[in-house]
Chain A
């Protein structure tokens, strides 16, 4: 096993709800509740869940693009949350992010060359003379031709823009990249290309990824470990093979049953969850999933099930699983 690059301990992020005449904080949206995991060098952790479960928030908070409410994040044993701004800024090149929306994540008024090279100049990684060469190098890694450096984002397709976004993240030689739903806005055929690119780059450079997505099939291809989130809590985390073969948490089982399979003879029975997803401002007591769980028992509404570690490092947050 390689060294642990990133360690997240009991990360919490609450968003205050302001109401009333004086805008007092009436409550909180508990977007992320005590999330813990670790990622080793060269490893990809896939983070799945439905929209609004808090996975994007986790990604952003880890990079301190949001200030956390509680918890710690260690990057190479350095507590990120305790760093001052200047120290944080010098650490940033190591931890990068690829964004979801290819249309909004690139400044429309900068050329592709400037977009990619900006950070290089900012951190002094590159001298002015060598800048263009370096940028072209990176672009070619990502499947973009060299003559495109003077074009503007609006001249590219969605897939190409996402490549630009990846190139931009690559420029700083990061060690860890958060991929926040990088292919959700793309056509399926292009999705495959981008995922393959990310895999290639990982093989070549040894990046670690936190791959956030709502699409289980996409995550399956690229991840080594997978964590499933529901309403701000990780309900199951395991190595990829384990999770897809033997899902233990009822929620994971329901999600996997919904994945359309090509082979008509291999159809599993579809598990339909009852009810609607609860309001994150007022999550259910005890196990957050108990209101929709087909196996819910008496204890489920009383006690919060922590992540229990079973054999093979398979972790589940359920009183009855395993």
Chain B
């Protein structure tokens, strides 16, 4: 990678570190808090400087541990970049990419605090009052807050430097692998994948969506839950890009939060399905005999269960058991995952059964290779492509299931948004007919996400299929 890009990335990183000195939280009538304020006062209460000279004392309690972590990662990345520029070392470049990724993940985690106010990303604003006996008590405060330029710039700069370094690295790797002399099975598959236009578009969409949903809220002035009757049911405009819903909440912001849920559900469910399904399918396929029979009976039972009815019933059970809205999300993921693993188990078992008969497995036995090495070195690498393709397509299914469930009111519960339950607005016929900005954007979001995932899954399937050579 040329020096120019490295130096540019270095500058971006330095700039992003300097963001910490810029305001992260702005308040109406109170002085702003910078990033440095936030990380140097972890879990302590900072008194906000009162600009309007009112009598109230507002205090901020910072919980920005992840913010501190992000800074640490950024500093490490900076160091690595300097090292790489001076010594032109490839390993430190790769390490830098990983560190910036870690910084982004950590910042993303910081931004998962969502409550009534936007300031909740970094902590809580409290109003200090004097109780009857002269003691100081703290109540949640209602002052207007918004994220500052520092917080927003940090996202942009991190993403830019990541894009720059990772992008240049990928292009270099791509050039290396385009050379047809490198013929590992994985690189061949990758080359095939990259040629598939739809797959690349899908992958790009997914990356954009992840960035938008996890980092987008930092750019919004509106909170997730705070209702405001005055601004209810307004159409799209300058203030609210996608309008407001029935309770006056900004649709675009809720769309982003809803996206977090849908994407997380999709991912977690599939991980669950792989862990359970691939393990059980693998064991059944490899050992065969009675174990296989028993396990496949169980799989058959689960596969015969009517998916939607059972999931709906479980959703109703959750409502009756008064599961809190926060907990419901976890249960929804568990339910969809538990009903979905049999399909994966069957696929893996089928693949292993056919692989077991390959002569190289027999050869491995003749060579005296131990069972567990046979599984790890010969079986698993040949099963992984199947699992990857099945998993990708399962993500799409999981997102659709979750949204259907939430649409029926049995999944993620209000007030927390999920793309599915935002479409519930159609229950009000007026909203359905006249205010389509409330329910159409979430529907389209689901569609685009699942479409992108399916493009990628399709592309992967073609890439791994040995018969599909042009």
Contacts and interface: CB of A to CB of B under 8 A. Distances in A.
Interface of A: 60, 63, 65, 88-90, 92-93, 95-97, 99-101, 104-110, 118-119, 122-123, 151-152, 154-155, 165, 168, 172
Given A93-B368, A99-B363, A107 B378 contact: yes
Nearest to A105: B359
A119 B367 contact: yes
Given A65-B362, A92-B366, A105-B363, 4 more contacts: A90-B368, A96-B367, A105-B360, A155-B183
Contact of B366 (A90, A97, A154): A97
B373 interface: yes
B368 A63 contact: no
B367 A104 contact: no
B369 A118 contact: yes
A122 B183 contact: no
Nearest to B371: A85
Interface in B340-396: 358-360, 362-370, 373, 377-378, 381-382
A151 B188 CA distance: 13
Contact of B377 (A92, A110, A165): A110
A93 B366 CA distance: 8
B359 A101 contact: yes
A45 to B, nearest CB: 18
A63 B366 contact: yes
B185 interface: yes
Contacts of B368: 88-90, 92-93, 119, 122-123, 172
Contact of B369 (A60, A119, A154): A119
B370 A122 contact: yes
Nearest to A122: B369
B2 to A, nearest CB: 29
A265 B365 CA distance: 50
Contacts of B358: 104
Contacts of A89: 368, 370
Given A92-B368, A107-B378, A119-B368, A97 B363 contact: yes
A154 B469 CA distance: 14
A209 B440 CA distance: 74
Contacts of A63: 366
A88 B366 CA distance: 10
30 contacts: A88-B368, A89-B368, A92-B366, A92-B368, A95-B366, A97-B363, A99-B362, A99-B363, A101-B359, A104-B359, A104-B360, A105-B362, A106-B360, A106-B363, A107-B378, A108-B185, A109-B185, A109-B381, A118-B367, A118-B369, A118-B377, A119-B368, A122-B367, A122-B368, A122-B369, A123-B368, A151-B183, A152-B183, A154-B183, A155-B183
A107 B367 CA distance: 13
Contacts of A100: 359
B56 interface: no
B184 interface: yes
